[in-house]
Every structure is written in C-alpha cells, then in structure tokens.
C-alpha cells in the first residue's frame, strides 16, 4: 500500500486509515468481539498502518479493541488519538502524563499523531511549546488540529493562525468546492498535510438514501447527510464512466489524489467496504488535471453558491454491489 510522509513523524503513514469509532459503537461487548478484532487484523494484513481511536465517549472501548487486536509491538503502526479534555481543561496536568496514560491504555502502543480539537485551541495556545518539546524528546510523533467542519479549516487559515509545516484533520467534504480548497492551496509546496475523514459518508455512498422521487428527510441531520451524499455523487460519477471504477473506489481515489492529503480515514465496520477501499488503490489514479476538470463552476448544482443538487438514484453500473 502506498505510504506518505507527515511532518514530525518518524515513519510514513498508509494512504488509508481506519477509525475505530464505528467498530465500538453499540453494546459494550462489541469492542472486544470477534468481528471487531477480525476487522482490525484484516485491515493490518491489507497494509493499513493508521488507526484512529478517537471515538468520543467510546474512546476507552476503542483503545481496548486496538490493544487486543495488536498485542505485540508494531513499529509501522500509527495510532491517532485526541487530546483528553482533562488535559485541556486543567492547566497543571502535564501533557507528558496524558501521553503515558494513552500508552498504558493502548497496551504499550505510543500515540503517533495527537489531535487538538478546534474547540480547545484557545486553552492550549500557551501549551504549544510543551507539545513541541514532547516531539523533540521523541515521546510524541506529531500533533495537529482536528476540525469538525470543513469551513472551520478555511476560516482558521484565513485568520493566519499558523505558519510553516502543519497537520490537520478535517471532514472529507473539505475537498469539495462548496467548502473551499483554501487549505490545500495553502499547503501546496509545504510540508503541511491533511488527514481527510469518512470518504464513504459512513457507508451511505452506495445510493441507499437516493430513491427516485423520495422527499428530503425531515430531520436537519438526515438532510445534511442526504445532501452530502448527493454532492459526492455529482462529483464522483464522471470517474465511474465505462466501469473505470465504482463509486466507493472513486471516493477513496478522490480523497488521496492531492499530494497534500496524507491519508483518508475510513469510518465503517463493513469488511466488504474495507476490501473495496483497498481495491481502489489498484485502479488508474485520478490525476490533478482530471480532478480540476471535474470541479463544477460557481452557480452549477453542487458548486459554491449553486442550487441544491438534483437527487436521483444512480444506475447499477455506478457501484459494485459487493460494496453495499
């Protein structure tokens, strides 16, 4: 599997990663169940090195699952975690203590990339020197800023709050023109890198939400998910022409096409979608020229400022039935 470098990390990351969040959601015994452990070990066998244990309230379960799946040291493994709220809220808690707690819960695996949530930046601004010192000591591979909304990234860049190499985690929709490409443009030619999350919209990219003539969901949350999938369909359909690739494969290739993207993290517990994502890496790559030609002009459906995209279920040739 292709690997790429990120600033501050002594080992490369695979272009595909796995989020443990969907694997541990639900009953308490799911985290250590055979399907979860089997999924993680299969991902590693396929060459995936990156594992994100940030799972909100279920983070302890995600950490236990990773420790159970990989009980032996693995020098290639890159574990991503989010800075504990306790360390962010209580100034006198050393970050070195937080990292040691992480390592203990992960069965000895160190944190390769530590994410600082965007909401904690104000409290942690004065502690950047501490993070950098932990990197110099070799106790932390890299640290970066995690954003919940793609728009937040472009706002952050516009305010000029960082200089030089940087590492960001942001939703996959950052790569779409509706959210803007300001960050990728800013990172171009630098050592900065982006980790894009959830290329398959939590498995909904198979078109299951897009029945012909179906009304938009009443819930604002469901509506946003519905529209996000529709935008991705508009963007990705040209890449599936002639059976060149399936929609899930196109989603992965679209995410990793920019060299500024170090990795895209899958959010699924479906083994078939894991396999599909790995198969995507063997397809002809999407070139920058092809990607630029695919971007809709402003005012077009799916473009910035344009009307909501027309929603319809694609034909069966648009995706591989094995990905459903």
**pLDDT score at 305:** 37
CA 81 to chain CA centroid, Å, is 13
The answer to whether 26 and 58 have CB atoms below 8 angstroms apart is no
The set of residues, in sequence order, having a beta carbon less than 8 Å from that of 269 and lying 6+ positions away, is: 22, 23, 35, 36, 39
Tell me how far apart the alpha carbons of residues 127 and 15 are, in angstroms, rounded to a whole number.
30
pLDDT in tens, 36-94: 999 999 999 999 999 999 888 888 899 999 999 999 989 999 999 887 544 444 456 67
Within a domain: 234: no
Question: What Rg, from alpha-carbon coordinates, does the chain have?
Answer: 19
**Among the ranges given (59-68, 261-270, 283-292), the one the predictor scored with the smallest mean pLDDT:** 283-292
pLDDT of 234 above 90 = no
**pTM (whole model) above 0.85:** no
Averaged confidence pLDDT in the chain:
75
Within a domain: 57: yes
Within a domain: 309: no
pLDDT band at 310 (very low <50, low <70, confident <90, very high): very low
The answer to whether 47 and 53 have CB atoms below 8 angstroms apart is no
Closest CA to 74 of 52, 101, 106: 106
Average pLDDT of span 280-284: 88
Residue with more model confidence, 322 or 173: 173
- How many domains are there within the chain? 1
pLDDT of 5 above 80 = yes
The CATH number of the domain holding residue 10 is 3.20.20.100
pLDDT in tens, 149-201: 766 776 776 676 665 557 888 877 655 554 446 667 777 777 778 888 877 76
**pLDDT score at 301:** 43
pLDDT of 127 above 90 = no
The set of residues, in sequence order, having a beta carbon less than 8 Å from that of 56 and lying 6+ positions away, is: 21
Within a domain: 149: yes
Within a domain: 237: no
Within a domain: 308: no
pLDDT of 303 above 60 = no
Average pLDDT of span 279-294: 76
Within a domain: 321: no
Query: Which domain covers residue 280, as residue numbers?
Result: 3-209+245-292
**pLDDT score at 298:** 37
Within a domain: 306: no
């Amino acid at each position: 599997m292709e690997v790429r470098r990120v600033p501050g990390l002594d080992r490369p990351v695979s272009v595909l990663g796995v989020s443990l969040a969907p694997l541990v959601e639900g009953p308490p015994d799911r985290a250590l169940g055979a399907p979860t452990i089997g999924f993680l070990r299969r991902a590693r066998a396929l060459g995936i090195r990156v594992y994100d244990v940030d799972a909100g309230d279920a983070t302890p379960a995600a950490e236990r699952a990773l420790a159970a799946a990989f009980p032996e040291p693995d020098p290639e493994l890159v574990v991503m975690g989010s800075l504990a709220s306790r360390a962010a809220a209580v100034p006198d808690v050393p970050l070195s203590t937080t990292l040691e707690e992480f390592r203990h819960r992960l069965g000895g695996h160190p944190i390769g990339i530590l994410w600082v949530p965007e909401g904690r930046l104000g409290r942690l601004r004065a502690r950047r020197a501490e993070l950098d010192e932990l990197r110099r000591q070799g106790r932390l591979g890299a640290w970066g800023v995690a954003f919940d909304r793609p728009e937040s990234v472009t706002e952050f860049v516009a305010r000029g709050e960082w200089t030089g190499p940087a590492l960001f985690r942001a939703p996959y929709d950052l790569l779409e023109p509706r959210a803007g490409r300001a960050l990728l443009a800013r990172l171009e030619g630098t050592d900065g890198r982006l980790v894009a999350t959830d290329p398959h919209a939590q498995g909904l990219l198979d078109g299951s939400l897009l029945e012909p003539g179906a009304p938009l969901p009443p819930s604002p949350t469901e509506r946003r998910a519905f529209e996000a999938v529709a935008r991705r369909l508009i963007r990705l359909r040209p890449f599936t022409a002639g059976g060149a690739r399936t929609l899930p494969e196109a989603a992965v290739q679209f995410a990793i096409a920019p060299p500024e993207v170090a990795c895209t993290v899958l959010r699924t517990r479906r083994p078939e979608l894991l396999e599909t994502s790995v198969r995507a890496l063997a397809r002809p790559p999407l070139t920058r020229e092809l990607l630029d030609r695919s971007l809709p002009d402003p005012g077009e459906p799916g473009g910035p400022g344009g009307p909501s995209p027309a929603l319809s279920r694609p034909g069966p040739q648009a995706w591989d039935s094995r990905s459903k």
